[in-house]
Amino acid sequence: MNGVLNYEGSGSKPLLAVQITELVDGIFIGCTMNHSVVDGSSFWHFFNMQYSRNVGLDLWAWEMNKMVALHTEEKLRSFLEFWVQEPKLLTEDNMAANALVTSSSPRFNVYGNDFGWGRPVGVRNGAGNKSHGKITVFAGVEEGSIDIEACLLAETLEAMANDSEFMDVVTV
């Protein structure tokens, strides 16, 4: 799904895709969604509620499939026609060179689900949400904490490491 644009979420491109990989000692659940039909709050609410109501993965996957099917091409087109009147896009091309973009929110309950093996130990973004200057913020595992995922070019990280004033502030 990397590189699929939101308006391509009809026809052969899914609005939501889920991959569940079972390991010997746990599972990975990979999700990708089309932002034209769901935002972060509704995604995490749906994700946590669907599994908490349907103790097994098969039923959970079926419920997700039914929910995605509710978003028809007609609904998507209606939303896009409304949005076209006042579009606001942020792209790497029109972003200032030294800008940071923050996404997600520490209010999203990303660690609130339990698939029968305990709560998640980590949440990460995929390649579609990673670009230079992109910072993603999630609620942390421990109450009151936050997880921050920062994507910076190698040259930027090297410059930070070589900046003694910066390193004095961030190291103990």
Residue type, 70: L
Is there a catalytic annotation at residue 25?
no
Q: Give yes or no for a contact between 122 and 31, defined as CB atoms under 8 angstroms apart.
A: no
Q: The tokens 């098969």 sit on which residue?
A: 58
The token pair that represents 138 in the structure block? 């999630």
Residue tagged active-site, from 93, 114, 147, 163: 114
Catalytic residues: 114
